[in-house]
Homo-oligomer: A and B are copies of this chain.
């Protein structure tokens, strides 16, 4: 994994460069959709190429291997999500982190492909040898440490009960997030990720919140 990003520094873009970049991003979109539906192993380079409108070799001209293609797709997704969570440069803390998460859920509920990509990959990549294994681990580590920080800070600021079992709450919250996505994909319509996740957050607040944040806002 972790292929260096292709250099895109060129200040001058010829017509050919533009066409190349267009093909590249079209391929990324195609790959994302196919990986989301059929997983990484279940998708062939030929399928991505066909959906992109390139030949198989043409696609491999932009991405040296299938794993590199996956890596590029994940990088893009990461960049986008990162920008969404901390659009002002700082990740929110305290209960505000859970609100930010809730709005991320709301956004995801309009993007089933992204959700599907994530659910499929994080199951497929449990296997240590999988090309996305490290990415999934990093992803979980990231959320876990963010939420842990958020709760600890909340305790320090008196908006979260100091007795709250931080680690447990973090794991539960991540679990709810993932589990709801899974159910939502399987039974679209039956499950509302947004309201069910909101119910979870409300539950947490009602048990471990001090009520001080309600006054503060």
Q: A172-B196, A179-B174 are in contact. Are A116 and B120 (CB under 8 A)?
A: no
- Say if the beta carbon of A66 comes within 8 Å of chain B: no
Cβ-based interface call for A50 (8 A):
no
For residues 173 through 191 of chain A, which have their beta carbon under 8 Å from a beta carbon of chain B?
174-180, 182-183, 185-187, 191
Indicate whether A38 reaches chain B with its CB closer than 8 angstroms. yes
Q: Is the CB of B191 within 8 A of A182?
A: no
Residues of B within 8 A of A120 (CB): 123-124, 126
Main secondary structure of the interface of A (DSSP, over half): helix
A178 to B191, CA, bound (A): 15
Q: Judging by beta carbons under 8 Å apart, are A199 and B165 in contact?
A: yes
Question: Binary interface profile of A, 92-124, with partner B (CB < 8 Å = 1, else 0)?
Answer: 000000000000000000000000100110111
A206 within 8 A of B: yes
A–B Cβ pairs within 8 angstroms, 23 of them? A38-B127, A42-B127, A116-B126, A119-B123, A126-B185, A126-B186, A140-B183, A168-B195, A168-B196, A168-B199, A169-B199, A171-B180, A171-B183, A171-B191, A172-B199, A172-B203, A174-B183, A175-B176, A175-B179, A175-B182, A177-B179, A178-B179, A206-B207
